[in-house]
Amino acid sequence: MLSYSQERDANIARNKEILASLAVEKLKPTTEPKETRRSVQKKPKTSNVGTAGHKRKTDADSDSDVDEKPRAKIARVANDENAVPQPEGLAEGRRRSSRIAGKPVDALARVEQSRGTPQPMIPEDQRSGRGDTIREQGSPDHRKTYGAIPGIEVGSWWVSREECSNDAVHAPWVGGIAPGPDGAYSIALSGGYDDDVDDGYAFTYTGAGKDLKGTKAAPKNLRTAEQSFDQSFEHNHNKALKRSVETGKPIRVIRGFKLRSKYGPSEGYRYDGLYVVKKYWQEKGLNKGGFLVCKFAFVRLPGQPPITVKDMDGDEADETTVSGTESDAEGDED
């Protein structure tokens, strides 16, 4: 019987092989000058700001960094004219993705503990959910658009899935896969599976299909649980990704802070551009029942801005941008 880590390593090795077998030419290790760091453009738009009803930045007292910080990650592009005036207070201040409850999300939370109050988080007239930067009459619903969302640069960053959804980059609040008729529109890498491999320019991804967990009263109110059955390509989400392989439609990819990879942002969710799915297969997943999972191999389309790479050892440390690295001596520990 293999231990968890042995099994994981075996899976990872297999996933790496598959990625390698795709014979994709890796982008050269272009180490971009720090400037290239995309999107230092703060200027969060309203959409993004007004967004979460839950957490709203009350006033400026919270952290006042951001401004000059090169690591400002808010990257909305927005035509200035289109830009809606900022409700003050929310304007600047990078809001954090309370990745860990108990962090200085301070006043943010609190403001609205109206958890039970069902009300739109964004005023009706502002919540197109179609990509606010292009919200004009007649503009298409970008939630169902393949490829880039107008006005959203590669490298754009959001504190939460909710905000990302508001900009139509990845519609589901929870789901990792946004399915469409000719393939998935977008996916989210959030570190849900330990044996997924992320090399930046390519990665393997595990499909959907898990039980929900809950209590007696609310049997399925939790969004995750242990794998308790085999995943299949009949599942709509997996089917969509399989279809992506056939159609070659580009898929928007966002990486989240929970992703255990040097390509994951240290906070929030970042749009890393377009990828295509090259291959799909099934394998025994990393779960105690040995249940099968559906897997997919993604490869990044060329000609896009480089991905930000996190300085591992330091974590929160600095981030530099490169567009693909050979070395991936990502210290395996355990």
Partner DNA sequence: GGGCCCGCAGGG
Partner DNA sequence: CCCTGCGGGCCC
Q: Which of 84, 86, 184, 95 is nearest to 128 (CA)?
A: 84
User: Which residue from 42, 143, 242, 249 is in contact with DNA, where contact means CB under 7 A?
Assistant: 143
The count of C-alpha atoms lying within 13 angstroms of the C-alpha of 217, restricted to the half-sphere facing its C-beta, is 0
Give the pair of three-digit tokens for residue 73: 């990650």
* Binding of residue 161 to DNA (CB under 7 A): yes
* Binding of residue 236 to DNA (CB under 7 A): yes
Using the minimum distance from each CB to DNA, give the nearer residue, 34 or 144.
144
Contact 173, 161 (CB under 8 A): yes
- Amino acid at site 234: E
* Binding of residue 190 to DNA (CB under 7 A): yes
Q: How far is the CB of 47 from DNA (least distance, A)?
A: 11
* Interatomic CA distance for residues 311 and 57, integer angstroms: 29
Q: How far is the CB of 242 from DNA (least distance, A)?
A: 14
* Interatomic CA distance for residues 177 and 182, integer angstroms: 13
Q: With CB under 7 A as the contact rule, which of the stretches 36-44, 52-60, 271-279, 325-333 interacts with DNA?
A: 52-60
Contact 196, 15 (CB under 8 A): yes
Using the minimum distance from each CB to DNA, give the nearer residue, 64 or 221.
221
Q: How far is the CB of 329 from DNA (least distance, A)?
A: 22
* Binding of residue 189 to DNA (CB under 7 A): yes
Using the minimum distance from each CB to DNA, give the nearer residue, 190 or 308.
190
**CA 93 remoteness from chain centre:** 21
Count the residues in the chain: 334
Q: How far is the CB of 81 from DNA (least distance, A)?
A: 26
Q: How far is the CB of 315 from DNA (least distance, A)?
A: 14
User: Which residue from 145, 191, 291, 299 is in contact with DNA, where contact means CB under 7 A?
Assistant: 191
* Binding of residue 147 to DNA (CB under 7 A): no
- Amino acid at site 285: G
User: Which residue from 33, 85, 118, 331 is in contact with DNA, where contact means CB under 7 A?
Assistant: 118
Alpha helices by DSSP H, 87-166 = 161-166
Q: Work out whether the CA dihedral 263, 69, 30, 184 comes out positive or negative.
A: positive
* Binding of residue 117 to DNA (CB under 7 A): yes
86-115 footprint of DNA as x/- string (CB under 7 A): -----------xx-xxx--x---xx--x-x
* Binding of residue 212 to DNA (CB under 7 A): yes
99 DSSP assignment = S
* Interatomic CA distance for residues 171 and 190, integer angstroms: 15
* Binding of residue 73 to DNA (CB under 7 A): no
Contact 173, 162 (CB under 8 A): yes
| Burial of residue 32 (number of CB atoms within 10 Å: 0-12, 13-18, 19+) | middle
* Binding of residue 220 to DNA (CB under 7 A): yes
* Binding of residue 293 to DNA (CB under 7 A): no
- The site for DNA (CB under 7 A) is made up of 52, 54-55, 97-98, 100-102, 105, 109-110, 113, 115-118, 120-121, 127, 129, 143-144, 159-162, 165, 171-180, 188-193, 196, 205-206, 208-212, 214-215, 217-218, 220-224, 236-237, 256, 258-259, 269
